[in-house]
Structure 1
Amino acid sequence: MVLRPATRQDLPAVLALLADEDEVVDPASVVVDAAHEKAFADITGDARNEVLVLVDGRTVVGCPQATYIPGLGRHGAERALIEAVRIRPGLRGGGLGRQLMERAVERARQRGCALVQLTSTRQRTDAHRFYASLGFTASHEGFKLALRAGR
């Protein structure tokens, strides 16, 4: 398995992973529209953002998005925010999620980040146990404010 930055060719596979958390979506069926193209270009054009893909041969089996946030706290160190973590349905439970997250955390460590943070929907208790097994602690209560309707 290889963890690498996503390329434009990976975009349909990443969108397929994000489209449905519980069912396999065929990347060939995914419509990549102008909003996706712009978002991907913005992410890949910014040194503080990356979409990563976990690849088995030529198949994208997982992804996270990482944003590196500068801050004044922790003596000016960056922190990494990891979100949109997905492993292809049917492949979960075999250690791929652990590989993906350990490698993403190592990328943040090599970049000099002082900490890695993530959020997870409250209902995803299995994911919470998984993140705790990686050493993450539920140290903060998070809040969100939707500014527009999402898809």
Structure 2
Amino acid sequence: MLLRPATRADLPAVLALLADEERVVDPASVTVTAAYERAFADIEADPRNEMLVLVDDSAGGPVVGCLQATYIPGLGKGGAERALIEAVRIRADRRGGGLGRELMSRAVARARARGCALVQLTSNKSRTDAHRFYASLGFARSHDGFKLTL
């Protein structure tokens, strides 16, 4: 498995992963809108953001997982950065084989190598399997989160 920054060519596969957690979505069926193009270009151009893909090299390179990492400077934790991880997905037909653990451990290692003092993430309250998974990786429920839809 290879973890690397996503390229524009990976965008349909990433959007397919984000489209439906319960089934495999064919990347060719995904519409890449101008809004997705802009968002991806912004992520790619920002040194504090990265969209990472987990690629199965043995099977011709399909994208089997993804996540977005945002590195946030702050005055807490001695002025160290923190990493915010979002949009974590493993393709539905590839779950259960340790790919999620591999994806997250590599993302945490990248944050550690960058000097981050903390890795944080949020997960929808309905995703109880994901919560058990994050807890098994050592993530603790330490805060309540709030969102305001605009």
Is TM more than 0.5 here?
yes
Looking at structure 2, the residues matched to 32 and 106 of structure 1 have their Cα atoms a distance apart, in angstroms, of 31
Among 132, 135, 139, which residue is 2:135 paired with? 132
TM-score between the two structures when normalised by the length of structure 2: 0.97
In the TM superposition, residue 123 of structure 1 has moved relative to its aligned partner by: 1.1
1:14 aligned residue: 14
Gaps of 5+ in 2: none
Q: Deviations over 1:120-139 (max 9, x none)?
A: 01111111110011000000
Q: Which residue of 1 aligns with 2:106?
A: 103
Q: Which amino acid aligns with 1:76?
A: G
Aligned runs of 1:1-151 on 2, under 5 Å? 1-57=1-57, 58-147=61-150
1:58-113 deviations in Å (ceiling 9; x for gaps): 10000000000000011110000000000000111110000000000000000000
Amino-acid identity (%):
78
Question: Aligned equivalents of 1:46 and 1:19: distance in 2?
Answer: 24
Partner of 1:120, secondary structure, is coil
TM-score (structure 1 length as normaliser): 0.96
- Distance in 2, matches of 1:121 and 1:34, equals 27
Q: Per-residue displacement from partner, 1:11-50 (whole Å, max 9, x unpaired)?
A: 0000000011111100011111100100000000000000
Counterpart code for 1:88: R
Q: Over aligned residues, Cα RMSD in angstroms? A: 0.5
Structure 1 residues not aligned, in runs of 5+: none
Question: Per the alignment, in what secondary structure is the counterpart of residue 90 of structure 1?
Answer: helix
Alignment size in residue pairs: 147
